[in-house]
């Protein structure tokens, strides 16, 4: 596909962002469908979000994705939020509509669709590690899928409490508890759950480490890491060694991206084709 003066522009902002596979899958799908779009990655430092949103609006971008650590901070720069983005309190997709910046969140449905290819969430007790934008989306997705109980474990107790109270407000039928990310109490909460989700950047390429001690895990638990680079994080490797079933976040990336693709273009993409492109690139 040739870039011309008529090519429409979308992309992703984050920090860091050079690891992103979104340009690979979006540009391949644009080419496959014959759409004159291009998707690029913009590394935006914390504190530069207002300038980035204003610049993309002025340059005529169709929209953009938002990744860590900007999913909550970008909300203040937008003119409108979808109902799901309001409930989650975080945005991962922005579309410019008649000069207005409208925020959406496709992470919740993208994660739900991906994990439920492997395991049903209905009636499950799920532990989410983290309380930022990704954790909020996972929590809402789990509640929408009929989870019986959620446990939020986060380094800062106050942030976990804020998310927990938000979930209790929107999903009163779900049992929600929270904890700081240390000590015997948190360990026992993790062990009380069948599904464990890492929704922090810990373990991402360049960061390393595990979000919780791996000896907190029990054989037979299902461990999902929202990270997709590397394909097997230290957390997943150690979970597998302890007899857990594991899954990384590549499918979540693809499925949330497919929904963003449709928001920008009005064309429904093939998520399986997008995933094949990403796996071939890797």
The set of catalytic residues is 71
What is the DSSP secondary-structure string of 12-68? EEESS-TT--HHHHHHHHHHHHT--EEEEEEE--TT-HHHHHHHHHHTT--EEEE-T
139 and 128 in contact (C-beta within 8 Å)? Answer: yes
64 and 34 in contact (C-beta within 8 Å)? Answer: no
Copy the structure tokens of residue 54: 């204003």
How do beta strands 93-97 and 125-129 pair? unpaired
Residue tagged 């596909």 (tokens): 1
267 and 29 in contact (C-beta within 8 Å)? Answer: no
186 and 207 in contact (C-beta within 8 Å)? Answer: no
273 vs 31: CA distance, rounded Å: 12
Q: Which region holds residue 34: left if phi is over 0, alpha if psi is between -120 and 50, else beta?
A: left
CB atoms within 10 A of CB 90: 26
Contacts of 55 (CB under 8 A, 6+ apart): none
């Amino acid at each position: 596909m040739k870039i011309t003066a008529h090519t429409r522009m979308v992309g992703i902002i984050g920090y860091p962002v050079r690891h992103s596979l979104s340009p690979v899958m979006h540009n391949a799908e644009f080419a496959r469908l014959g759409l004159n779009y291009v998707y690029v990655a913009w590394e935006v430092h914390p504190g530069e979000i207002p300038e980035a949103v204003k610049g993309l609006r002025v340059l005529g971008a169709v929209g953009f994705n938002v990744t860590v650590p900007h999913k909550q901070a970008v909300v203040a720069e937008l003119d409108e939020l979808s109902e799901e983005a309001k409930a989650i309190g975080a945005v991962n997709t922005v579309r410019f509509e008649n000069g207005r910046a409208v925020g959406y969140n496709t992470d919740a449905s993208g994660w739900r669709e991906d994990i439920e290819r492997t395991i049903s969430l209905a009636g499950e007790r799920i532990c989410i590690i983290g309380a930022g934008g990704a954790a909020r989306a996972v929590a809402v997705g789990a509640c929408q899928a009929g989870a019986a109980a959620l446990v939020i474990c986060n380094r800062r107790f106050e942030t976990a409490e804020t998310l927990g109270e938000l979930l209790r407000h929107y999903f009163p039928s779900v049992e929600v508890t929270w904890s700081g990310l240390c000590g015997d109490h948190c360990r026992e909460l993790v062990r009380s759950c069948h599904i464990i989700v890492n929704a922090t950047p810990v373990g991402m390429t360049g960061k390393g480490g595990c979000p919780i001690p791996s000896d907190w895990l029990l054989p037979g638990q299902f461990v999902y890491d929202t990270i997709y680079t590397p394909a097997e994080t230290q957390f997943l490797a150690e979970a597998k060694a302890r007899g857990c079933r594991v899954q990384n976040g590549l499918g979540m990336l693809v499925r949330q991206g497919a929904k963003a693709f449709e928001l920008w273009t009005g064309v429904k993409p093939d998520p399986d084709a997008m995933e094949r492109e990403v796996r071939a690139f890797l």
